[in-house]
Amino acid sequence: MPKFSMYPPTITISKLDEKPFEVANLEFHWFWFINLEFGQKSQMTAYQYPGPVFWERRERRIDRKAKIHGVECLELRGFEYDIDGNIIAESTNFAKIDRGYMRTYAFLHVEYTEDNIIRLSTWKDNGFNDDWDYDPGIPTRVLDVGKWRFIDDNHFTDGDPKSIPINVNSNGIGLWEVKIGESTHRCLRVLQPGNSVDGTMVEAFVNSDGRTMLARRYNGSRWHYGSKRTIVDGTPREWTELLPDAPRMCYNDICFVLWDFSIPDTAL
C-alpha cells in the first residue's frame, strides 16, 4: 500500500433546517464502512488525538461465505496498516442481516506483535453479546424521532419523543451538511452515547443511501481509568487531562472526549 497523509482533510459540520430523512443502513457497524453484501470492499483512513494525526489505514472486504455453529453468514475481513503500508493487525467478523437486524456471530482478531496474539469469540461465549449486541442485533432502520435534543453545539440531552417505534435505531438527531475536504454530503447525524463516564460514545453521519461519510468515537472521561493507557508518571488520568485539546461532547452531565475518527475513501 502507498504512504498516506499524516493529517486529515478539513471537516466542517452545519445544521440544516430541513426534515431529517430515514436511512436503511446495511453497513456492518459504523467504522467498517461496508455493506453486508457478498463482494463488497471498502477503504478508509483513521485519525487520532492528540493531533489529530494519522492512526492507521484500513481495508475491508467480503469475499467468502461462512457457517458458525450451523448459522450461515458472511465473512468480513479487515486489515490495518501503518503510514508506510505495513500491516499491523487483521480481524475477521462473521455476520448477516436477519429480519431487519445486523447480527454478529463470531469475531477473530490477530495482532502483529512479537507474540502474534490471536483472539476468537463466538455468539456461544459468555460476554459476546455485551461486545457485539448479538441478541437481537443492531436495527438497520435509522431515524430521528426526537430522542435527543441539543442544548448547545457540544451538549445534548434527552428529548421528548411521542413514541419510539420498535425494531429501529432511534438515535438520529437532525439533518446536517458535512464538508470533508472538497466534498459535501447531506447526512443524518446519529449519536449513541454510553450511560456513564466509564463508557464511550459513537457519532456517525449517514447519507440518504445509508452510507456513513464520517464516524467519530469518544471516550468517557474515566474510560479504562487506571489501565496502562491512562497512567502518566505513575498516576491515572482522566481523558479530559490526557487529551486537553480534543473536542468534547456532553450528554447530560457525562463528558465524552473525541479520541479518533474515520473517513472512508468514498467521502473524499
> Do 214 and 145 share a domain, yes or no?
yes
From residue 12, give the alpha-carbon distance in Å to each of 8, 146, 178, 245.
12, 24, 6, 17
pLDDT band at 131 (very low <50, low <70, confident <90, very high): confident
Looking at the structure, tell me whether residues 234 and 145 fall in a common domain. Answer: yes
In this structure, how many other beta carbons lie within 10 angstroms of the beta carbon of residue 265?
Answer: 10
pLDDT of residue 69 exceeding 70: yes
d(CA 106, CA 103): 10
Q: Which of 115, 139, 163 is the last residue of a domain?
A: 139
**Report for 108-112, 113-117, 193-197: range of highest mean pLDDT:** 193-197
| Residue 115: per-residue pLDDT | 67
Is the bond preceding residue 193 a cis peptide, omega within 30 degrees? no
> Domain for residue 151, yes or no?
yes
Residues 173 and 47 in one domain: no
Quick: pLDDT tens for 204-232. 999 999 999 999 999 999 999 999 999 99
Asked if 139 and 112 touch (Cβ cutoff 8 Å), the reply is no
Where are the strands (E) in the chain, listed by range? 11-15, 23-24, 41-48, 53-68, 71-81, 87-98, 101-111, 118-122, 138-139, 141-142, 148-152, 155-158, 172-180, 183-193, 200-206, 212-220, 231-232, 235-236, 248-251, 254-264
Grid coordinates in use for 146?
426526537
Q: Distance between CA atoms of 80 and 35, rounded to whole angstroms?
A: 19
Decide if pLDDT at 151 tops 70.
yes
Among 89, 121, 139, identify where a domain stops.
139
Upstream peptide bond of 20 is cis (omega within 30 degrees of 0) = no
pLDDT tens readout for residues 8-59:
999 999 999 999 999 999 998 888 899 999 999 999 999 999 999 999 999 9
**Interval 177-182 mean pLDDT:** 97
Check pLDDT > 70 for residue 185. yes
CB 58 within 8 A of CB 77: no
Both 83 and 162 in a single domain? Answer: no
Identify whether the C-beta of residue 174 lies closer than 8 Å to the C-beta of residue 191: no
**Residue 217: which of 88, 76, 46, 69 has the closest Cα?**
46
Give yes or no: residues 245 and 121 share one domain.
Answer: no
How far is CA 236 from each of CA 158, 218, 225, 227, 254, rounded to the nearest angstrom? 31, 18, 7, 8, 19
Task: State how many domains the chain has.
Answer: 2
For residue 237, give its domain range. 9-25+140-268
d(CA 201, CA 189): 13
pTM equals 0.92
Residues 211 and 131 in one domain: no
Residues 219 and 184 in one domain: yes
